[in-house]
Structure 1
Amino acid sequence: LFLGFIIKNTNIGEDTSIGIIFSSFFALGFILISVLNVSINLEDLLFGQILAVSTFDVVVIFALFIVVLSIFIIFFKQLLFYSFDPIGAQIRGLNTSFLNYLFLIMLSLAIIGSLQTVGIILVLSMLIIPAASAKLVTKTFTNSIKLSVLFGIVASLSGLYLSYFFNLPSGPSMSLVATGIFIISFILSKLVNPILSFIFEV
């Protein structure tokens, strides 16, 4: 929310705003841990530990998933319009400020639900890489959403199995599998697209 406020009300670029918010709140979190004398494993906080997830954590994550999914379904058309053409959405009378902050709230809830599994540092990779991989191999927005969800599930389950059988951290394992999916998607996009273009031209 602070990120959206800074971007909307200043002339600072998005990359700079992300750097300011990320570093500031990252530092604030560690200061609070130190001041409150909370017993937290910093490695689990940074890189996640899905094997240490409790039943209560599962309930919280599932509840956050239901909330985010419900908001996404209800405001799908408005968010889609705003994402592709914010100026056009504003001209059509949509409350673009509301949609902007609504998207940021959804993103925040998704990040909160992912912290226990992949940690602070790797949470962005699990948000970005599956979507980027899907974008490489599909051209429609709906198929991109479905495929990114599939890639995220595959990366999570595969990374979990790797971390369990090879005694590896769960977060980095999931992130590396997601990176592998991205590399495969990139190779397929470079190989398949020219072939399809040649076939249709012939």
Structure 2
Amino acid sequence: MNTLALLDWFTTPLQHEFMVKAILISALVGVVCSVLSCFLTLKGWALMGDAVSHAVMPGVVIAYVLNIPFAVGAFVFGVGSVIAIGYIKAKTRIKEDTVIGLVFTGFFALGLVLVSKTPSSVDLTHILFGNVLGISNQDIIQTVIISVITLVTIAILRKDLLLFCFDPTHARSIGLNTGALHYILLSLLSLTAVAGLQTVGIILVVAMLVTPGATAYLLTDKFDHMIPIAMASGVFSSVIGTYISYHIDGATGGCIVVLQTLLFVIAMIFAPKHGLLVRAKSSDKAQNL
């Protein structure tokens, strides 16, 4: 591809207002999801992210029926799912991963039923797969507000959240309210899931909440470096994935997540310290000694 063709590839979509909006919102959501992804990766909450992102679906549908912001319904059901997980775990002998699977599939199934029975002029299946190319100004405002709230909260509580994710026992011993931090992180997760609905939908939002952090985790051992690496990965895949979806007329959310996954695979193979190639070389050297 020559320089002129490459320039045309990038500039042609920008002639459409809906593409400019889609690229900017995708980049913003990529930043928010990537930052939160680092904390979820450190905490080992990938499955919890999956649970919350799926559990918000009935809340979004009910919010639509009641004509209130999606974020309100999603927040209530996201936090409600976490409370349900904690209650069932405390009252039964079932292990946490099983409880998470039960709760999030139950909530998700309820959401599907509500979608099928809700008369709507809006295609609520966009909740599942995202619709960033058709995002409304109201949804843009909502996404920006959620993003600002999430990023500001993380910036203020960054050190406390980091210690809570890395070593909750030590965090508790020095006087931090780990219970509050637990629910703050889960609340941010619920809100971020709503922001991700507009770009990739419920089904794929968990990838945006896990993959950038996992990619960065392979590339660095320092958390201060992990966040910018994850952000770069998230923004790059969100923006370029949106471009690719335009040129191939494919699903935007799918293109974004496929690109994120490719970046993870590349990091997994070529990471300078933890990549498969480096480990294979180290193994060969050990055998030759």
Report the TM-score when normalising by structure 1.
0.89
Separation (CA, whole Å) in 2 of partners of 1:42 and 1:35: 11
Cα distance 1:106–1:126, how it changes in 2: closer, same or farther (>3 A)?
Answer: same
- Identify the match of residue 153 of structure 1 among 215, 229, 235: 235
Which position in structure 1 is the counterpart of 2:106? 24
Q: SS at the partner of 2:120?
A: coil
**Cα shift at 1:193:** 7.3
Question: Where do 4+ consecutive residues of structure 1 move more than 3 Å?
Answer: 6-9, 11-14, 191-196
**Cα shift at 1:102:** 0.2
Say whether 1:69 aligns with 2:151. yes
Say whether 1:166 aligns with 2:244. no
User: What are structure 2's unaligned runs of at least 5 residues?
Assistant: 1-78
- Identify the match of residue 4 of structure 1 among 48, 67, 82: 82
RMSD: 2.1
**Cα shift at 1:48:** 1.2
Aligned AA (1:98): A
| Residues 93-146 of structure 1: CA deviation (Å, up to 9, x unaligned) | 111110000000011111100101101100001110111001001110111111
Which position in structure 2 is the counterpart of 1:53? 135
Separation (CA, whole Å) in 1 of partners of 2:99 and 2:266: 32
**Cα shift at 1:31:** 2.5
Aligned counterparts, 1:179-198, within 5 A:
179-189=261-271, 190=275, 191=277
**Cα shift at 1:2:** 3.3
**Cα shift at 1:149:** 1.0
| Residues 141-187 of structure 1: CA deviation (Å, up to 9, x unaligned) | 11111111111101101110111010000011101000000011111
What percent identity do the matched residue pairs reach?
37
Aligned counterparts, 1:31-42, within 5 A:
31-41=113-123
Report the TM-score when normalising by structure 2.
0.63
- Identify the match of residue 129 of structure 1 among 199, 211, 218: 211
Aligned AA (1:184): I
User: What are structure 1's unaligned runs of at least 5 residues?
Assistant: none
Separation (CA, whole Å) in 2 of partners of 1:3 and 1:13: 16
- The higher relative CO (CA closer than 8 Å, separation ≥ 6) is in 2
**Cα shift at 1:15:** 2.1
Say whether 1:44 aligns with 2:126. yes
Q: SS at the partner of 2:194?
A: helix
**Cα shift at 1:32:** 2.4
